[in-house]
Structures are given as C-alpha cells and as structure tokens.
Amino acid sequence: MRFSGLRILKEGLTGNRGWTPHWRDPAPKSEYDIVIIGGGGHGLSTAYYLAAEHGLTNVAVLEKGYIGGGNVGRNTTIVRANYFLPGNSEFYSHSLKLWEGLEEELNYNVMHSQRGLINLFHSDGQRDAFARRGNAMINQGDDAVLLDREGVRKYLPYLDFDNVRFPVYGGLLHPRGGTARHDAVAWGYARGADSRGVDLIQNCEVTGIDIENGVVKGVQTTRGAIRAKKVAMVVAGRSGQVAAMAGMRIPVESHVLQAFVTEGLKPCIDHVVSFGMGHFYISQSDKGGLVFGGDLDMYASYAQRGNLPLVEHVMEAGMTLMPMIGKAKVLRSWGGIMDMTPDGSPIIDKTHVEGLYLDCGWNYGGFKAVPASGNCFAHLIATDRHHAAAEKFRLDRFRSGVGLMDEEGTGAQHNLH
Amino acid sequence: MRITCPICGERDRREFYYKGAAVALERPDPEAGDGVWNDYLHLRENPAGVTRELWYHETGCSAWLVVTRNTVSHEILDAVLASEARA
C-alpha cells in the first residue's frame, strides 16, 4: 500500500474503507538468519536497512511489548547533528542526512520539521565553547550560525534577556536541526521492514540466549525457542539484563530521564531552544503542546517515572528562561530509561560471542540516532565490518582508554553525561 | 525519595549526591591489569531490582553512605555509613 495525495483524496471520498494494517502480526518461525532483540526505533531501523540495503529478509524483530511502546514513543523528538568529537560528529552527520531523505525512503510522513535548534549561552566562556562547537559542525559539513544577543532576539523575542544570573549573550543556531513525529518513525520503519518480509513479533520477550562453544545459536522466548545464525541486541535501557543472558557485563547503567508536555497552545515557540544554564530544552509539537525536559534524575532507575525535585528544577529553569510559559498547564510528565555509558557515547560492535552483536549506550540522545544506528548496525551484522560513520563506537574503548568520546569532559561516571 | 542517614535521620533526596554502584569501594590493586580496572571503572551489574549504591550526604553531615535501594520501585531499604560497610 503506497501513500500519496491521490490515495488520501480517494479514501476520503470513499469513507476511508480502503486502509489496511501497516504491518502483519506473524507468529514466530522456529529459525531465522537474524534475530533482532528489541522492536524499538533502533531495532526496527536495523531490520529495515538489513532488508533494504543488504537484501537480508529472513529476519525477525522480537519485541516484548508492542511496536512503538518503548523509548521511541517516550522521547522529546529532537533531531540534530551538533556534536563535537570525532566519532560522534560523523555519525550524527550521517544520521541527519538519512533523516532528510527518510520520508521519501519510507513513503511515510514522519513529520520531520527542520525548524532550527538554538543552544543559548550566558557567558563569554560559553560563547567561546559554542563558537568552537559551531566550527566543528561546519568542518563536518553541517550548518551552524553563531548568533549574538540581538540575533537571538529576532528569533526568540520572548526570552528573559536581562535575567540577572543568566543574561542571554547569544546562541548557536543549527538551522537543519528540528523535530520529528516519534511514533511515525517507528511505524514507518516497521512498515518498511515488514513489507520486505521481516517478521515483527510483538509480545515476545527473550528469556535466554543460546550459545554453544562461543557461537550464538538462537534465543529462548516467551513464545518458544528460535534458532538464529546471528543475534542482535538493541534494547536500550534493558541492555544490562539482555547482555547478562549472554554472560556479559557491559558498561551501562540505566537512569531515568523525565519529560513534560503542556496543553495545546497556539504556535508560540517556533524552534527547539536549549538553556545554557543547565539542561532545560523545549519545543512545540504540531498539536500545540510545549514539549520540554531537563536533566537526568541522577540515580539508577528502571521505574519509568522520576521524583519531584527534578520536576521542580525543570519548571524553575523554564520559568527563568521564558516566563511567558508560566500560565500553561502541564498535561503529562513521564520518564524513560536511558542506557548511560561512562563516556556518554554509544556502542555499536560485535561481542566476544561469534554471531552476537550489540547496539546500546544511547544515553539520552537515542531518537535522532535512529536512522544511522540502524543503518550502521545493519551494515555490521550483514558484513561483519564497521560502517565508516560508526567505526569508533567500540565496546573495548573503555578497557583500552583509546578513543573515548566524552563530549562533556566529565569522566567515567555513568550519570554525568 | 527520602534517605535515612545513620547520623542525621530521614532526609530529602536533594541533600544527597549519587555516586553509583557501591563497587566503587572495592578499589583494585594498581597493578591488577586493565581487565580488572575496566571491570571496576566501567562494567556494571545494573540490576532492575535491589542494588547497593554510594551516596554522599552533601548538604548534611558529609558522610558517605552505602544505600540499598530498589531501582524499580525507588524504595530505600537500608543506609549505612560507608566506613562501616567496608569493615
């Protein structure tokens, strides 16, 4: 089923009776060439690129819940390529290019909106740091514009520019940054993978990984045993538990990150804006809700909900930056479980088990990485060679100390990134 | 989330700084090799359930605590002084 304007017109005139489900609901077969554990954004995009770019379609995606029910449906939808360090820089640049062609590629409206992202700064030192970051982004081939105070005022007239503690000195504008509809990204990749023959198996939790003589043989699940030549683990916050099934301890600690959305308002915030005093960022969804968040709660958690001190902190930061949002009513808050690594950068690599692959450590930046993570992970699984854009995301960098990508320079502590 | 400090009593979570898994107390020999040090610095059990962690009573008595906590329910089960937990 192809989507087009003509199709929408025809369905609209005939009672919308012609739409069919976007993917099948198959029972698991007893054997696949490749089993992907985790039907989130990264698992689905991995399956899609295995089929679309490598012709590998004897593939199953095992999801313990339902498609789109994990972090891909719980994030703040921001898409950007404003990283600084080699390794991250080329990877997110690759991802942004995939985003820009995604709707054509998938024939699916993911509502990718390149509305521009502005990171504010509030001191001379911060200005220097952002100027340097902007140069790194331009060197990578992406876009960055250093705005002074009056430049920011043209875009964001509603900020409290004269705040005593955090006056706005300027901002780094990333014009190609923006947002996308998170659910639609999951659905689009799911539909694309399914239509090429990949089995998306929901309500199927992996309970064990079968390994014989150092070679992976398959998985045990709540829907029976499934043999596989290759097994890929892409389970974000649950990476520690799944890796433990393969006898691995991995450099991940799971933390909770909260997010918030207000009632729908008329358009007032046209960009993605982040506050340089701390981790407050905000955008406005197409439905009108202000979507915003802050920092981690800063302790290990699987609760998918946070504590009130961080709620208070985020609200304070928002009110400090843009007092106009004070009357908006918060409709919902929620928490997602983040797979935090010691350097704050991800892992896409083989493991010590032959045929077992690992994609994790997305910290709180996994959404924008969905296309490139799947693209590069599929390349690794299909060819056993690292994709050029992700070749620095090695598991052994922590052991050797070579190639760590600590963007914030905060050191080997999981919650400080 | 409130933590009962053995010295100060029950206090708000905001008074405490979280360090991470209590494995940090088990510092290996400097010559133990990169495998042992990688394990100590980076690799984590990361349990969904009960875990032992190091918390610092930053704005209270400045004691380091070993807190036993459930990462699924956020329930605090125990908090003892790190100096005593090590012995």
Residues 29-68 of chain B with CB under 8 A from chain A are: 34-35, 38-39, 41-48, 51, 53
pLDDT bracket for residue B87 (50, 70, 90):
low
Is B20 an 8 Å CB contact of chain A?
yes
Q: Report the greatest alpha carbon distance in chain A.
A: 66
Structure tokens at A351: 């493991």
Kindly tell me if the per-residue pLDDT of B24 is higher than 90.
Answer: no
What backbone torsions phi and psi does residue A320 show, to the nearest 5 degrees? -70, -40
Nearest-CA residue of chain A relative to B49? Answer: A302
**3-state secondary structure string, A341-408?**
CCCCCCEEEECCCECEEEEECCECCCCCCHHHHHHHHHHHHHHCCCCHHHCCCCCCHHHHCCCCCCCC
Pick the closest to residue A179 from A284, A268, A279 (CA basis).
A284
ipTM: 0.95
pTM listed for this prediction: 0.97
Asked if the Cβ–Cβ distance from A309 to B43 is below 8 Å, we say: no
CA–CA min distance B87, chain A (Å): 25
pLDDT at B83 over 90: yes
Task: Tell me if A61 sits within 8 A of A163, measured CB to CB.
Answer: no
CA distance B25 to chain A (A): 14
Query: Does A413 sit within 8 Å of B38, measured CB to CB?
Result: no
What are B5-14's pLDDT values in tens digits?
A: 999 999 999 9
Which of A352, A399, A406 is the mutation pick for testing B, counting most B CBs within 10 A? A399
Q: Where are the extended beta strands (E) located within A38-77? A: 59-62
Sort A50 into a burial class: Cβ within 10 Å, 0-12 / 13-18 / 19+. Answer: buried
The Cα of B50 is separated from the nearest Cα of chain A by a number of Å equal to 10
pLDDT of residue A278: 76
Per residue in A151-183, pLDDT (tens digit) is 999 999 999 999 999 999 999 999 999 999 999
Distance CA A236, CA A37 (A): 10
Distance from CA of A247 to the nearest CA of B (A): 11
- Using CB atoms, which residue from A238, A303, A413 is nearest to B20? A413
Neighbours of A270 (CB within 10 A): 12
Which residues does chain A have with pLDDT short of 50?
none
Q: How far apart are CA A16 and CA A299, in angstroms?
A: 48
Find chain B residues with C-beta within 8 A of A311's C-beta: none
Tell me which residue of A146, A110, A179, A87 sits closest to A406, measured CA to CA. Answer: A87
Do B12 and A309 lie within an 8 Å CB cutoff?
Answer: yes
B1 touches chain A (CB under 8 A): yes
**Which candidate from B20, B44, B72 shows the least CB-CB separation from A302?**
B72
Q: Using CA atoms, how far apart are residues B59 and A241, in angstroms rounded to an integer?
A: 34
Nearest C-alpha neighbor of B14 from the set B23, B26, B25, B3: B3
Average pLDDT of B27-42? Answer: 95
Band of pLDDT at residue B3, cut at 50, 70 and 90: very high
| B80 bridge partner residues | B66
- Which residues on chain B are in Cβ contact (under 8 Å) with A415? 18, 20
Two structure tokens written together for A195? 């239509």
